[in-house]
Structure 1
């Protein structure tokens, strides 16, 4: 079984995000970048499936500027076999990414695509679902457990009411949740080996995909600072403040 694992370059989760002075976006200059944490979980799960003998090859793919090779190399150091970079310096919206991944899937013919459920920069939580729709493949989202069963996959996913167990036929799309696994740290020998693993670079045009943005950002601004709490002397005073000051009732 061949696995395809998309990985995204995002601002490191330990970094305090700052808005640009002109309000056009988030500041990324001289900011530490890393692999999206949910994608790390996806890579880890792919490596575990390979270690169990379920998978034979893991292909890590990323879309974005040339610097995304750093995140692909991280995936290779964790255990992926090779990488594909779809190089593009402009904005890539979830639908565009899904179309790019669809083209890669049609070229590589993987039996399973494992994605992080969402990226921590935009929280879109849309690419996996869009990719499944474009391919017409079954999907399992927010999975917390995955295991081979009856020629397909038995997955456990988290829903509002608790846990839901599904049987998926292959090929399929799954998106990972936090409780699926704990990603490993790449060892120094594996980091050195990753430098020799191949990364193929293509352009959106090579895949026949138009990535022209359909949305435009009007303005980005930080949320208002939280105001200090107030003590009230009675229920009547609380209701009055909720009604007249907070205007929530």
Structure 2
């Protein structure tokens, strides 16, 4: 079985985001970019399934600028077999991403698609669900555990009330949650080997998908500065402040 793993290039989670002076967006100049953390979890799970003899090939695919090759190369260094980059400039919204991934699924014919539940830059949490709908495949979202068997795949998913286990027939779409696994670090030998693994660079335009954004960002602003706390002398003073200032009592 082949597993397809979409990965996204985002601002590294350790970077302090800076907003452009004109409020038009986030300043990306000289900013470290990396793979979306939830997508790292997806890659790790696909690799574990291959190592268990369940999967035969892991293919990483990314949609974005030409620099997205670096993100795919990270997946290859972790252990993915090959990569695909659909080159597209500017913002590509979840529906367009799902349509492009549908085209890749038609070409690659994977038995399973595993992707992160959301990207940390826009937090949309939409692509996996949209891809499932477009393909007509069953979906298991927010997965914290996967068990593949003869009759399909059991997905333990995190919901508001706790955990829910669903059984899906294959092929299927699964989105990874934080507790699914702990991604491995790419070793230096694997990083060197990844340089020789194939990456297929294609223009996204060849699939005929309209990439025009449907949303317009009117303004981007940093959150307001949180006021400093103050130390109170007694419980009575605290209660008085909660009544008169905070208005919560």
TM-score by length of 1: 0.94
Match runs of 1:215-226 below 5 Å: 215-226=215-226
1:238 to 2:238 alignment: no
Superposed, which structure 2 residues align to 1:39-188 within 5 Å? Answer: 39-188=39-188
User: What's the CA shift string for 1:21-64, capped at 9, x where partnerless?
Assistant: 11111111101111011100000000000000000111100000
Per-residue deviation, residues 171-221 of structure 1 (Å, max 9, x unmatched): 100011111111111111111111111111112221121111111110000
Distance in 1 (CA, whole Å) between partners of 2:151 and 2:108 is 20
Bigger shift: residues 180-189 or 41-50 = 180-189
**Secondary structure of the structure 1 residue equivalent to 2:237:** coil
What is the CA–CA distance in structure 2 between the aligned matches of 1:154 and 1:234, rounded to whole Å?
A: 51
State the distance in 1 between where 2:241 and 2:108 align: 65
TM-score by length of 2: 0.94
Partners in 2 of 1:228 and 1:77 — Cα distance? Answer: 45
Query: Following the alignment from structure 2 to structure 1, what is the Cα–Cα distance between the partners of residues 146 and 238?
Result: 53
Deviating beyond 4 angstroms after TM superposition, the runs of 4 or more aligned structure 1 residues are: none
Shift of 1:234: 5.7
* Number of residue-to-residue matches in the alignment: 245
Unaligned residue ranges in structure 2 (runs of 5+): none
Range with greater deviation from structure 2 (204-213 or 73-82): 204-213
Note the aligned Cα RMSD (angstroms): 1.4
